[in-house]
Amino acid sequence: MTKRMKRWTLDGLGRDQLVLSEVEIPTPGPSEVLVKVAALSLNYRDKMVVESGMGLDLAFPFTPLSDLAGTVAAVGPGVTRFAEGARVISTFVPHWIDGPARGSAAAPAYPTLGGRYQGVAAEYVVLSEEVLAAAPVSLTDIQASTLPIAGLTAWFALIEEGRLAPGQTVVLQGTGGVSLFGLQIAKAAGARAIVTSGDDAKLARALALGADHGVNRLKGDWAQDVVALTGGRGADHILEVAGGDNFDRSIAAAAVRGQISVIGLLDGTELKGTVFPMLLKQLAVRGIVVGHRRALEDLVRFVDQSGLKPVIDHEYGFTDLHQALDHLDHGPFGKIVLKL
């Protein structure tokens, strides 16, 4: 094995500071494994970290990205969870194995890969064995790399926290990675799925993927369209990915005792909503920061059992990270992946 590798690093904030460098391949220590990276999937959060740092105290030079699939190339002393040759995927929040997330009111925890910790945009990475989960046997590395954030976020919101039941109605906003995973998970669980988008062509693709209805949010009041499509009842689960004024539409579209999972902030960092209908409907509003390793392992089993296949919009080469980020700016249908 060569002793050097390529790695993306930020020397400061901004895409112009993102460079491809060559460094020594690291060596795993106790309870650590060396992973040969096969694929990396991009998330909107990665773009924000590169461009603004998201208010995080990044240690430069900083390696971005958090979602990988690869193969264990070497193990350090005391490793018991994986052997050389095992196919693995990363977890977003290291050492959040199960149960409630760490943190307090004064300091809510956000210790993530590609955030507080260095990311994984490299040909090889060393990680604690606790940070990894076994990859689904039914997926390629390209497909498996999309599970750690997008897949797990949808799973955690709908299944782990949402307790989605057959016959319920789920609204998926947009056609990004989380929403399309939510669509597939909802249908596999026996739920009804309504997708909103401002692009009729993307809505047609969502319908082909299994959505029961597609609503163009630019051609009227999407919330009232959802209410009409559900016979006045509203949606039991809504994946809120936009924030801003869109949150008020989610309140209007929700059923009595419905659940709104706040996942994204594409339209702004504030949620603007009318309180009175939220009170009358007794809505549950929950912030979702991906999920723990046990839930990811549950998702992996579900994927292998159900035959779910992640939607990949485009594959780029490892050296094409700048082009991949440009593509992310334009709203992909599903996931963007770097292939090594």
Q: Which helix (H) or strand (E) holds 236?
A: strand 235-240
For the chain, which domains are there?
A: 4-150+291-339 (3.90.180.10), 162-287 (3.40.50.720)
SS3 241: coil
**Kindly report the CA angle at 264 between 168 and 43, in degrees rounded to 5?**
110
The answer to whether 337 touches 146, Cβ cutoff 8 Å, is: yes
User: How high is the pLDDT of residue 1?
Assistant: 56
pLDDT digit string, tens, across residues 244-293: 899 999 999 999 999 999 998 777 778 899 999 999 999 999 999 999 99
Mean pLDDT of 132-141: 98
Averaged over 40-62, what is the pLDDT? Answer: 93
Q: What pLDDT score does 50 carry?
A: 96
Could you report the per-residue pLDDT of 153-184, keeping only the tens digit for each? 999 999 999 999 999 999 999 999 999 999 99
Answer yes or no: are the C-beta atoms of 40 and 145 closer than 8 Å.
yes
Judge residue 244's burial from the number of C-beta atoms within 10 Å of its C-beta, 0-12 exposed, 13-18 middle, 19 or more buried.
Answer: middle
Burial status of residue 253 (CB atoms within 10 A of its CB: 0-12, 13-18, 19 or more): buried
| 85: amino acid identity, one letter | G
Average pLDDT, the chain: 95
Residue 315 has pLDDT above 70, yes or no: yes
Backbone angles phi, psi at 84, to 5 degrees: -55, 140
pLDDT, mean of residues 111-134: 96
- On the question of pLDDT at 240 being above 90, the answer is yes
Q: How far apart are CA 267 and CA 245, in angstroms?
A: 8
Q: Quick one: tokens of 106?
A: 């004064």
**Element at 7 (helix H, strand E):** strand 4-10
Give 279's contacts (C-beta < 8 A, 6+ positions apart): none
Pairing outcome for strands 169-173 and 235-240:
parallel
Phi/psi for 88 (5° steps) reads -135, 160
Q: Which run of H or of E encompasses 152?
A: helix 152-155
Q: Dig out the tokens for 156 from the structure.
A: 């955690």
For the segment 44-48, the average pLDDT, to the nearest whole number, is 93
Question: According to the model, what pLDDT value does residue 111 have?
Answer: 87
With 0.85 as the threshold, say if the pTM is over it. yes
Residue 118 has pLDDT above 80, yes or no: yes
